Amino acid sequence: MAKRPNLLLIMADQLAPQVLAAYGPSRVRTPHLDRLAGEGVVFENAYCNYPLCAPARFSMLSGRLPSKIGAFDNAVEFPASIPTFHHYLRVGGYRTCLAGKMHFIGPDQLHGYEERVNTEVYPADYLWTPDWRLDDETWLEWYHDMSRVIESGPYRRSVNVAYDDEVEFEAVRWLHEHADSGDDRPFALTVSFISPHDPYLAPPYWWDLYRDVEIDPPRIGDIPFETRDPHSRRHWFLTGRHRAEVGELDILRMRRAYYAVTSYLDAKVGRLMETLHEIGAGDDTLVVFTSDHGDSLGERGLFFKMSFFEWSVRVPLIVHAPFAFAPRRVRANVSHLDLFPTLLEAAGDGALPELVAPVDGRSLVPLASGGGRDWPDLVRAEYTAEGVNRPLLMVRKGPHKLICSPADPPMLFHLDNDPDELHNLADDPACAGVRAELEAIVAETWHVETLETAVRDSQSVRRLVSAALNTGTRTSWDHQPMRDASQLYFRESGDIQASYAGTVR
């Protein structure tokens, strides 16, 4: 059997592809991602399947639409019985490891990873459970607000930077230790950073990188509240727009900080690629770079994510494997659901077990290879968390995107002709056929009333369980990485000479 490739999945958090040079003219300096894109396959129209952290990640890892695994929001348990692609890779002979954020909720903090080298950045319990009993104008104290925008700028240190520095260090350490371990299994390493997620607090070095750069404002500025679509009006309250005024200078400062933190993240991507070459794995490692969702960055007066407009729901997706795929750009619509079958096919060669549960995606290998003429060109996504009280759904097929909910009038856009999504074609008679086709896909994919009931029931159960678990003695689900100090560095029981293995003399 031919040598199977190592797999390196690098994830950003809340990174909009629109700010990257790989996706069009950009003022953001990302030389390492530029190189990765130039040597790899760039998927120009890639989407998450839920524009919020935890459900997007659970969906990606399982290859299932979020509602099919009960991933309703940021505080719902990811069941341990659901196979991820790392379960298959591990059974198939890969050494699997996670460094960084994956926002797992519940007692299982591994989900197929053999090792996890640092803890989670967010709570692993039901603390952030939404409540659909609240009205459309409720702001949640623990949620995003405009202080994240107003207070953006250069900061010597932040929780996000401290976390990402640890993630980089532990990932690089793990790669070197794997190379020195004598373990001949290929590796499947996930390195998941929280940058450039808000709060937008840029290390001074990276902030100063943009001292002479004219920061571009949003393409589409604030849309008056009274002319917003219903979900964008809810979004106003969800993100605390009613609690603080946000001016043009605030937005420009926020975008500069976002660009700076993106450059900071880019340097970490460069360090990981450099490490692959240092350990001799640079020529046989398939690298995937993506983000869990995007960031609106003030476009249309929206901030953060939780929306199906393009800046929130699109993601960067770059596959770098020069030994397998020539550089190219792919315009077809794809989503995170497609990563599960893609990575299993790339790692296959008959060594992996047959699927024991269905997946909703398709392998990207044909598209990455220049084929894929039968590709369905279809993406589906959903949202059932804060800011709605009925399911919000999205379908994109070809150039058309439908956004719909039982609570709202539908929105239909032709993204080739209207990339800024300013012209709702839902009531245009010329588009009646397209609307009917996409609504049929919605009906085939979701039973909306059943989904709504399931979400409300889940919230109710979790509110009760959370109250119980936080009464009396509390047992944390947060991952506690363990390292056996007796096996580190120089120890009397070890071979001193062997401790130098892998060092450069």
User: What's the pLDDT at 492?
Assistant: 62
Overall average pLDDT of the 293-320 stretch: 97
pLDDT digits (tens, 9 = 90+) for 29-79: 999 999 999 999 999 999 999 999 999 999 999 999 999 999 999 999 999
Q: Sorting pLDDT into bands at 50, 70 and 90, what band is 144?
A: confident
Please report whether residue 467 resides in a domain: no
pLDDT digits (tens, 9 = 90+) for 373-398: 899 999 999 999 999 999 999 999 99
Task: Return the beta strands (E) in 384-475 as ranges.
Answer: 392-397, 400-405, 408-414
User: What's the pLDDT at 427?
Assistant: 97
User: What's the pLDDT at 494?
Assistant: 52
For the four alpha carbons of 152, 157, 163 and 166, in that order, the dihedral sign comes to: positive
pLDDT digits (tens, 9 = 90+) for 207-216: 999 999 999 9
pLDDT at 219 over 80: yes
pLDDT digits (tens, 9 = 90+) for 399-425: 999 999 999 999 999 999 999 999 999
User: What's the pLDDT at 418?
Assistant: 97
User: What's the pLDDT at 148?
Assistant: 94
pLDDT at 3 over 90: no
User: What's the pLDDT at 177?
Assistant: 95
For the four alpha carbons of 105, 380, 51 and 120, in that order, the dihedral sign comes to: positive
Please report whether residue 472 resides in a domain: no
pLDDT digits (tens, 9 = 90+) for 115-133: 999 999 998 999 899 999 9
Catalytic residue, chosen from 32, 86, 87, 103, is 103
Overall number of domains in the chain = 1
Please report whether residue 493 resides in a domain: no
Give me the domain span that covers residue 324: 6-377
User: What's the pLDDT at 504?
Assistant: 41
Please report whether residue 496 resides in a domain: no
Q: Sorting pLDDT into bands at 50, 70 and 90, what band is 505?
A: very low
Location of structure tokens 């202080």: 147
Please report whether residue 336 resides in a domain: yes
pLDDT digits (tens, 9 = 90+) for 470-482: 999 998 999 988 8
User: What Å distances lie between residue 79 and 151, 227, 490, CA to CA?
Assistant: 37, 41, 40
Catalytic residue, chosen from 48, 53, 97, 404, is 53
CATH code, domain carrying 321: 3.40.720.10
> b/e for 420-443, b at 16 or more Cβ within 10 A?
ebeebbbeeeebeebbeebbebbe
pLDDT at 495 over 80: no
Lowest mean pLDDT among 109-118, 132-141, 356-365: 132-141
User: What's the pLDDT at 499?
Assistant: 47
Indicate if 103 belongs to the active site.
Answer: yes
8 Å CB contact between 314 and 19: no
Apex 195 CA angle, 117 and 64, nearest 5: 70
Please report whether residue 489 resides in a domain: no
Please report whether residue 479 resides in a domain: no
Please report whether residue 463 resides in a domain: no
